[in-house]
Amino acid sequence: GAVVSQHPSWVICKSGTSVKIECRSLDFQATTMFWYRQFPKQSLMLMATSNEGSKATYEQGVEKDKFLINHASLTLSTLTVTSAHPEDSSFYICSARPRTGGSPLHFGNGTRLTVT
Amino acid sequence: AQSVTQPDIHITVSEGASLELRCNYSYGATPYLFWYVQSPGQGLQLLLKYFSGDTLVQGIKGFEAEFKRSQSSFNLRKPSVHWSDAAEYFCAVDFDSSYKLIFGSGTRLLVRP
């Protein structure tokens, strides 16, 4: 079945550094990928919509200069957390919409980011 | 504003008992509806979805859900809960067919042996 892979599954970084998270669709092409963040014991909040070959669309309140999204191919989207701070510590999850559409969204297993 | 409500933060049931998790959503049109399950520290697994047609949908692991347009609800049910069903359950709604999902706050299911 359709698989979405996220890498890394967890990362610890120092405050002020940048971290890149990858989201790959392994056996299908995804024209659209979505990035969510989830704080402990809370629900998922959509951060941005990533479209292949175009700029990402950010939800209200999400800093586009802090959370850089690149969707350079039909199977890969990346989220870079720039100048990370402890308050950016969270669980980041991506999902992918197949190019063919009509299928449910598939989610990656998430990336646990801890900023020290 | 578009919103998804899961009124129960925690639910505890005994193993073998039946289960119903509630989900209500705002907005008048018929959206796409989903239920996902999440184990601690893990991603989301799709249990079932509703796009159109039969309002009672069957999913994996013995789960089913019923779409009730008049109540703007999409409740998840299982006739007999297993200990392995303990997890966090999220109802999600795509209000405009964009696959941009709005999630409910989640319901944590605890299963008593």
Structure tokens at B77: 């049910």
- CA-to-CA dists, residue B29 to B6, B32, B76, B94, B102, angstroms: 19, 10, 20, 11, 15
CA A10 to chain centre: 13
Are the beta carbons of A59 and A47 closer than 8 angstroms?
A: yes
Kindly state the average pLDDT of the residues A58-67.
95
Residue of A11, A37, A91, A105 to mutate when probing chain B, most B C-beta within 10 A: A105
Question: Beta-carbon neighbour count of residue B10 at 10 Å?
Answer: 9
Q: What is the model's pLDDT at position A72? A: 82
Is the predicted pLDDT of residue A1 greater than 90, yes or no? no
Cβ neighbors of A81 (< 8 A, separation 6 or more) are: A18, A19, A20, A21, A66, A67, A88, A113
Query: Nearest residue on chain B to A49, judged by CA atoms?
Result: B100
Q: What is the model's pLDDT at position A103? A: 55
Is the predicted pLDDT of residue B58 greater than 90, yes or no? yes
Candidate from A43, A46, A108 with C-beta closest to B43: A108
Q: Do B49 and A104 touch (CB under 8 A)?
A: yes
CA distance A94 to B35: 17
Q: What is the model's pLDDT at position A113? A: 96
Which one is predicted more confidently, A53 or B11?
B11
CB pairs under 8 A between A and B: 48
Q: Do B105 and A43 touch (CB under 8 A)?
A: yes
